[in-house]
Chain A
């Protein structure tokens, strides 16, 4: 049985109304090389999915196929119920794509560009989803109010990135693609961006698929994490579920008689129980640190790369939502 077949959630047998993304057996071949090989996953309304993986694993290719910017070689893909290879403008109006900007529209001013790009969405406005966003509200939401009348060429890198996000959501998308959204953000801007993502998914039920190299960010933002390696999904589940199931060790730290101790164990609960049974009130400053997503991710990718990918994936029961 193949790795990817194992990672398909059992409940996703047929796309229901809540399935926003449905990818089955996706394959992308360049010449003789399969960049993507039988990629399978689903996303449900309002879910935040993080797609992780080493460089060259095919994350960007996957996203570009879903966005309708790239033709796939094989497989069935449905995005908002439509095959992206045949997506019409009305379909596109329901998608948000955050692009990495560079120096485009340098002479335009922030408000001017958002108003212009937003105006393309007015014919697709509905009762339940008025499109586009109010421009000034949107500018405030990404924290660019002070810079609304600045030319794009005068924005800093972080400001420009926030504008990219604003452009991506100006049409109030039902599904938003974010390819490395916070590259180059300072910690403050990153925190604000995370708040914005939470707002989008909680209040507007926007489904979000993001790629990132920042595992901390993936852990904070994502309801579910997909790890793409070697062209297929090797793990699919919440950050918590992933680190529980990967047999990484937890680190226990405590203080006894003014001395600091550290111990690694795969069964922290038992260890701590025994610790208290032995020393009781002498223990203070107890800390149990379970493996972070980073540890899990590293362990997984290492295992996969050393050719035991199948075994690694099998040790994961897939956690649906």
Chain B
């Protein structure tokens, strides 16, 4: 069999092992549960309020939006964070020293990060279905939409996250990625309909994947009538596929170049130098 196919299969195993490790580890479990609980509490408080111009619960509208946010945030930040950390601690160099190891590593990361994102989506979605009324859960089309939005969202965010992760040499710089994302979340209509924002802000939000992921998830889980509260009074699936597709294409073109350049530079001495630096930070 082709050695690349085999290495990719090792990567699937690797992703599976890392997912099992993260789900059987108290610290990681807390990192999944805490934000999920926090978000559910916020939504519960918003349950009494209604979407402007309708009598639909704002909490129920926020739920699918938050799912979209989790996909974007999880895809970007997890990919970026794991790459920087594992570059610093030498995981990547180890992969490089093994035949086919880099391919296996990358496949493993895609599996691992996707699994983590899926977990963070389920942890909000499943309790949310019991907490909120008005969500459409009986439509097969709705679930299919949720599926393709999730997949396209991962494709649009993970490669970009990997690019950020390869460019930053220091895990501490991750704040530089997280802060702008927080800003984008605030203007992307996740917790409040974007139509109530000034038009230039709406325009800015529509450049980035977060808005479209929120919109796509709302289209999957909200009644059709609520499309009236969106820009253009439509779920705009075509545009969603278009914008997310452009981000995915951009990421898939740039990420291999940046990743290859980063991987080429990995050597024992560079890991040792970063280790020295990190130890100085600690002491």
Whether B272 contacts A107 by the Cβ 8 Å rule is: no
Whether B96 contacts A69 by the Cβ 8 Å rule is: yes
Whether A119 contacts B13 by the Cβ 8 Å rule is: yes
Whether A104 contacts B86 by the Cβ 8 Å rule is: yes
Give chain A residues whose Cβ lies under 8 Å from the Cβ of B271. 99-100, 102
Whether A167 contacts B267 by the Cβ 8 Å rule is: no
- The B interface is mostly helix, strand or loop, or mixed, namely helix
A61 to B273 Cα, complex, angstroms: 13
Segment of B1-9, B118-126, B211-219 engaged in the interface with chain A: B1-9
A-B residue pair count with CB separations less than 8 angstroms: 88
Q: Can you name the residue of chain B whose Cβ is closest to the Cβ of A117?
A: B98
> Does B193 sit within 8 A of A, measured CB to CB?
no
Q: Which of A58-104 contact B (CB under 8 A)?
A: 60-61, 63-64, 67, 69-70, 89-90, 92-93, 95, 97, 99-104
A121 to B10 Cα, complex, angstroms: 11
User: A181 → chain B, closest Cβ, in Å?
Assistant: 12
Q: Can you name the residue of chain A whose Cβ is closest to the Cβ of B18?
A: A107
With contacts A90-B99, A120-B7, A123-B1 known, is A179 near B21, CB below 8 A? no
User: B158 → chain A, closest Cβ, in Å?
Assistant: 21
User: A268 → chain B, closest Cβ, in Å?
Assistant: 42
Give chain A residues whose Cβ lies under 8 Å from the Cβ of B96. 69
> Does A53 sit within 8 A of B, measured CB to CB?
no
Whether A102 contacts B275 by the Cβ 8 Å rule is: yes
> Does B236 sit within 8 A of A, measured CB to CB?
no
Q: Can you name the residue of chain A whose Cβ is closest to the Cβ of B88?
A: A102
> Does B245 sit within 8 A of A, measured CB to CB?
no
Q: Mark B76-100, 1 if CB is under 8 A from A, else 0.
A: 0000000000100111011011111
With contacts A99-B94, A104-B90 known, is A93 near B269, CB below 8 A? no
A125 to B116 Cα, complex, angstroms: 35
Whether A120 contacts B97 by the Cβ 8 Å rule is: no
A119 to B101 Cα, complex, angstroms: 10
Q: Mark B175-198, 1 if CB is under 8 A from A, else 0.
A: 000000000000000000000000
Q: Mark B1-43, 1 if CB is under 8 A from A, else 0.
A: 1010011001001100110011001000000000000000000
Q: Which of A153-200 contact B (CB under 8 A)?
A: 167, 171, 179
A92 to B103 Cα, complex, angstroms: 14
A318 to B51 Cα, complex, angstroms: 86
> Does B268 sit within 8 A of A, measured CB to CB?
yes
> Does B74 sit within 8 A of A, measured CB to CB?
no
Point out residues on A near B: beta carbons under 8 Å.
60-61, 63-64, 67, 69-70, 89-90, 92-93, 95, 97, 99-108, 112, 116-117, 119-124, 167, 171, 179
**14 residue pairs bridging A and B, Cβ less than 8 Å apart:** A89-B3, A90-B99, A92-B98, A99-B94, A102-B89, A104-B89, A104-B94, A107-B18, A116-B14, A117-B94, A120-B101, A120-B104, A123-B6, A171-B99
Point out residues on B near A: beta carbons under 8 Å.
1, 3, 6-7, 10, 13-14, 17-18, 21-22, 25, 86, 89-91, 93-94, 96-101, 104, 266-269, 271-272, 275
What 20 new A-B contacts, CB under 8 Å, besides A100-B90, A116-B14? A60-B268, A64-B269, A69-B266, A69-B268, A90-B3, A92-B98, A92-B99, A99-B90, A100-B271, A101-B90, A101-B94, A102-B90, A104-B94, A107-B22, A107-B25, A119-B13, A120-B99, A120-B100, A122-B6, A124-B99
